[in-house]
Structure formats: structure tokens, C-alpha cells
Amino acid sequence: MLFVMNAGYNVLWGLILMKRLLAWLSLMMVLFVSIPVQACTLWASNGSVVNGGGSLIVKNRDWAPNQYQFIKLVSPKIGYRYFGLYAEGKHAGMKAGINENGLVVVSASAGSIPSKEREAMPHTGGLLVKLLKECGSVDEAIARTDLFIGPEILMLADKNKVAAIEIGPEGKFFVEEKENAVIYHTNHYVYDEMLDLNRVIGESSQKRYDRIGQLVSTATTPYDFDNFISYSNDRNDGPDNSIFRTGSEPAKTRTMAVWAVKIPQEGSPEVSVRILNPNEDEKVFKIIAADVFHSL
């Protein structure tokens, strides 16, 4: 009888351990599987570190190769006209854009919070569109704190300054403004005020952050536009962790587009867009923003 009781106890304890192991594995899957898809690298510079002054801003957009991307021009009845990089499919919408007043806004996911948690949190829908339609400068966009709801990372530029905004849950956010300097970001919170929001920092996000930081900090300044864009093709850390990602497997996240803008102190912004849609030839567009807006 004693043997039977011990055997039952051992079986019960084994089941408990198995449940704990399965729960731990499930947690690890949430932390490590849900992060890589929505990944981007952002960098910008302004003022004396830019050849000729003004600002430069670049976004490498990374995603699984299951979306179609395109450039779309919008002329709203009220507000500034704008155009930008859009994607169709899951999580469709604008990914980067510029308005007729020379404000550029790009975004990246706050991937250090698992995607299931992020998607369940309140957030401002169409945030980039709202900022481009309603704001004429970085300062005006920064002032729209009512829109900073839901985990996301923004980078903004106009001819006078660049800025990064880390947005967390429950209305928490932090703004970093830069003049005569460079700024960069990937997919985790990096400012002291926001560090406690990171659940886990993905390997790719950290490696891309370190690499873009190395490139912009060791480059000879002032930066010129072509030089700044050249960082978008860096493959230093392999197919899954480089700034330009090719994906180690066919379905893995890769760089799907590059959005780059030069905003001079005088004259029209220049926009360079590289689109790498799956099963299509690569497309490169060189656009003078004024030509687009004057065509309306």
C-alpha cells in the first residue's frame, strides 16, 4: 500500500513538473517567436553633421515576405497633403511618410513587448497619417501627446531637427530631440525612463542597434545623402541580424523596403524609396517632393 501511494505521488509530481515545463516553453515561444516579424532600423541626423545642413532620415522596413508595398499620395479635404510607403496584408497601412510642409514620420514596432500583449493594448490607429495630416513640423508633432497611445517607436524629421519618440503602454512616452547630431533606433526601448518596459530584447534588435550606432558614430561627418543611405545595405551580422536582412529561410523576416529623405534648409525634400516586394524585381524611386505635391 505504501508503494502504491509513493508511485501515485511520483506520478502526480511528474505531471506537475511536466505542466510547469510546458508553461515555460509556451512563455519562451511568446517571447522569442512573436518578436522578429515587426522589425525596423531607423536613423536620422540634423544640422552641422549634415552636408549643407538640414536633416536626413532613413528607415529600413523589415517584414516577412508576405506583403505588397507601394507608394501612395493622399490629398485630404482638411489638413496637409502627404505621400508615403504603404503595405497591404496583415498590419496594413502607412509605414513611412512625408507631408507638403516637409515633416517626415517613420515608425518601428516596440518588439520588446510581445506582439499578443501589444495588440491587446489601447493604441492610436493610423498614427502616422494623423501626424502628417495635422502637423507641419517636428515641434507640432511632439506636442500631440494625445496621440501617443500604444507601444510604438517613432522617428521624425524636418529641416530644423530630428526626434525619436518611445511610446509605451498606459500613456507613457519619452521624447528625445536632436539638433546638430545623429539619432538611431531599432525595436526596443533604450531611454532610461522607458527601460523597465522591455520584457525581452530580441537578438536582432540589439545587434542592429549596436551596428547602426557604430556606423553613424565612426563615419566621417558631415554626412551626405548617399553615404547615409549606404548604411541601409549593411550585412555585417548575417541574414537575420543585419541592418539589411535577407532571411536565413524563405519565410523569415527580411528587409522589404528602404525609405530615405533629405530635407534641405532651402528647397524641396528629396525622397529615395527602394521596394523589394516578393516575386517582383526590385524597384527604386527618386522623388522630388515638390513635384508630387504640385501635380495635384
Length of the chain (residues) = 296
Torsion on CA atoms 82, 85, 88, 92, rounded to nearest 10:
-70
State pTM to two decimals: 0.87
pLDDT per residue as tens, the chain (296 positions):
333 334 443 444 444 444 444 443 333 333 333 333 458 999 999 999 999 999 999 999 999 999 999 999 999 999 999 999 999 987 899 999 999 999 999 999 999 999 999 999 999 999 999 999 999 999 999 999 999 999 999 999 999 999 999 999 988 999 999 999 999 999 999 999 999 999 999 999 999 999 999 999 999 999 999 999 999 999 999 999 999 999 999 999 999 999 999 999 999 999 999 999 999 999 999 999 999 999 87
Q: In 3-state terms, what secondary structure has residue 12? A: helix
CA neighbor of 200 nearest in space, from 111, 278, 276, 82:
111
Q: Which residue has the cell 538640414?
A: 54
Tell me the H-state helices in 34-156. Answer: 115-120, 127-134, 138-142
246-284 core/surface letters (b: 16 or more CB in 10 A; e: else): ebeeeebbbbbbbbbbbbbeeebbbbbbbbbbeeeeeee
Q: Give DSSP secondary structure letters for 189-251.
A: --SGGGGGG-S---HHHHHHHHHHHHHHHHSPSSB-HHHHHHGGG--TTHHHHSSS---SSTT
Q: Which three cell numbers stand for residue 62?
A: 523589415
d(CA 28, CA 47): 44
